[in-house]
A and B are shown apart, each in its own frame.
Chain A
Amino acid sequence: DADVTQTPRNRITKTGKRIMLECSQTKGHDRMYWYRQDPGLGLQLIYYSFDVKDINKGEISDGYSVSRQAQAKFSLSLESAIPNQTALYFCATSDTSGRHNEQFFGPGTRLTVL
């Protein structure tokens, strides 16, 4: 089984709809992240969470919200979807222990807003 899973994998929705993307991990990591990826652009950080009670905005948080339901679960919501939120969304995790800071990514959710 994959260490970081995302649901759904693909979603098509209409402008104005509320959408939730979910992320679960079995790696036991305390830190979780949401990114979006657009063609020709680098991965952009939307929100990140260092533990269940800690939520922080990233570079492009406008129009998004998150919920850290448990150490292993981190959800991203689009309150009222708009077409320029069409993108590939990735969840990632990392561990604070030791020197290692690498992040491990899920398979992604392809979101299309019509």
Chain B
Amino acid sequence: EDQVTQSPEALRLQEGESSSLNCSYTVSGLRGLFWYRQDPGKGPEFLFTLYSAGEEKEKERLKATLTKKESFLHITAPKPEDSATYLCAVLAWGGATNKLIFGTGTLLAVQP
């Protein structure tokens, strides 16, 4: 069964304290792995798509990496405005297309 697990469930950082969020996945064949940011009461906001192991994408203080079993979202020198829930989702080969499997997210709090 296709599955996505995110860890930790919650993470509290001090401003400037770098860290990483993990997304482990089990799928029959990976078509793509997606990272989203979600602010309270709002819809998920697309951040990155990764397609193959070894691929990396960067945006400001965020950097996403991908291996054959997991993805990391590295946050460098975070600021309070980076506080949000970060969601990971995978798209698998086989069955209907474009059906994303979401993890439950990591709630990140960055304190000034």
B99 near A105 (CB under 8 angstroms)? no
* A99-B51, A101-B49 known; A90-B102 Cβ under 8 A: no
A91 to chain B, nearest CB (A): 8
| B98 at the binding interface (Cβ < 8 Å) | yes
| A68 at the binding interface (Cβ < 8 Å) | no
Task: Kindly list chain A residues whose C-beta atoms are within 8 Å of the C-beta of B102.
Answer: 42-43
| Count of residues in A whose CB is under 8 Å from the partner chain | 28
Task: Kindly list chain A residues whose C-beta atoms are within 8 Å of the C-beta of B45.
Answer: 105
Task: Kindly list chain B residues whose C-beta atoms are within 8 Å of the C-beta of A92.
Answer: 43
Nearest A residue to B45, CB-CB: A105
Interface residues of A in 20-75 (CB under 8 A from B): 31, 33, 40-43, 45, 48, 50, 56, 58
Query: How long is the Cα–Cα vector from A68 to B46 in the complex, in angstroms?
Result: 24
- Please give 5 more A-B residue pairs, beta carbons under 8 A apart, in addition to A43-B87, A101-B34: A42-B102, A96-B98, A102-B32, A103-B34, A108-B41
- Contacts A/B (CB < 8 Å), 25 sampled: A31-B98, A33-B98, A40-B104, A42-B4, A42-B101, A42-B102, A42-B103, A43-B44, A43-B100, A50-B98, A90-B43, A90-B44, A92-B43, A99-B51, A100-B49, A101-B34, A101-B49, A102-B46, A102-B49, A103-B98, A105-B43, A105-B45, A107-B42, A108-B42, A110-B41
